[in-house]
Amino acid sequence: MPPFLTDGAYVNLVLLHFMISVRILALILSASVFMLPSLPNPVKFWLAVMLSIAVAPVSDASIVTEALGSLSFLLIMAAREFLIGAAIGFVSGIPLYALQLSGFMDGTFMGLNMMNIFDPMSEAQTSVTAQMTYMLAIWFYLHWDGHILLIRALAESMRLMPVGVSLWESSDSIPFVDWMQRIFVLAMKISLPVFGAVVLSDVGLGFVARTVPQMNVFALGIPLKISVGLFVLLTIFPGIVDIFHGEIENAVSLALESVLFLR
């Protein structure tokens, strides 16, 4: 009875799973939802291996077995898969980055950025409001199955950019500029109500300082701006959640568009 797979088929299968694992591992390492410090590195590695087994049947790719004879070609293929996975994970985090940026701006408006906390995810100092909004964004992202949408986008990328295709084409435009524009526009859209409320409180304090000179406006202004900013932030947060929910799928679509120049 002939063997189920020939030697060349075994080599092609091993290379296929290896390249898919590299793409998935890059996605896990770059996507904010998978970068939680509570997720150990061995779990990320085995998650990439298991997802490669699940995604391989839909990839419909044929890797050239002669790639084993050229180390440079193997490295180029692996680097391409890593860039594709990293780009999908990084660009798809637009809502998370925008909400974190809006929290940083809100903290600046309210004066809370004078004290920072240590962020264990980025290993850097960040503001209290930025960390609060970022953790809430992670929770809502998982609640609305954003991580499953990322895996579906990864499977779709196998169809758009098959594994093992050595032809590199350049598209007319690279939408990374659009990615940065979306982050800042979305962050400003979320932060404008808090900014307006803080400006109005400053105007009111200016009138108080002119009418009641005996009152220490500087001592009154700090807790007033913090209270007004937090009140407005809590009031508009349901609208922020709706905006955040609408941007999750758009960000994943942009992530798939952004890696087409690697096709």
Summarised one tens digit per residue, pLDDT across range 25-52 is 888 888 877 777 667 778 888 888 888 8
pLDDT, tens digit (0-9, with 9 covering 90-100), for 223-243: 888 888 888 888 888 888 888
CA 44 centroid distance within chain: 17
Q: Count other Cβ atoms within 10 Å, centred on residue 140.
A: 18
Q: HSE-up of 168 (CA within 13 Å, CB side)?
A: 9
pLDDT band at 121 (very low <50, low <70, confident <90, very high): low
Which among 31-45, 149-163, 195-209 has the top mean pLDDT?
Answer: 195-209
Residue 169: band (very low, low, confident or very high) from pLDDT cuts 50, 70, 90: low
- Of residues 114 and 232, the one with the higher pLDDT is 232
Q: What DSSP string describes the chain?
A: ---SS-HHHHHHHHHHHHHHHHHHHHHHHH-GGG--TTS-HHHHHHHHHHHHHHHHHHH-----GGGGG-HHHHHHHHHHHHHHHHHHHHHTTHHHHHHHHHHHHHHHHHTGGGSEEEETTTTEEEEHHHHHHHHHHHHHHHHTTHHHHHHHHHHHHHHHS-TT-------S--THHHHHHHHHHHHHHHHHHHHHHHHHHHHHHHHHHHH-TTS-HHHHHHHHHHHHHHHHHHHHHHHHHHHHHHHHHHHHHHHHHHTGGG-
Are residues 151 and 128 in contact, defined by beta-carbon separation less than 8 angstroms? no
Mean pLDDT of the chain: 77
d(CA 39, CA 96): 18
pTM for this model (two decimals): 0.77
Tell me, what's the pLDDT at 230? 85
Weakest mean pLDDT among 5-14, 45-54, 95-104, 240-249: 5-14
Q: What are phi and psi of 256, to 5 degrees?
A: -70, -35
- Distance between CA atoms of residues 258 and 177, nearest Å: 10
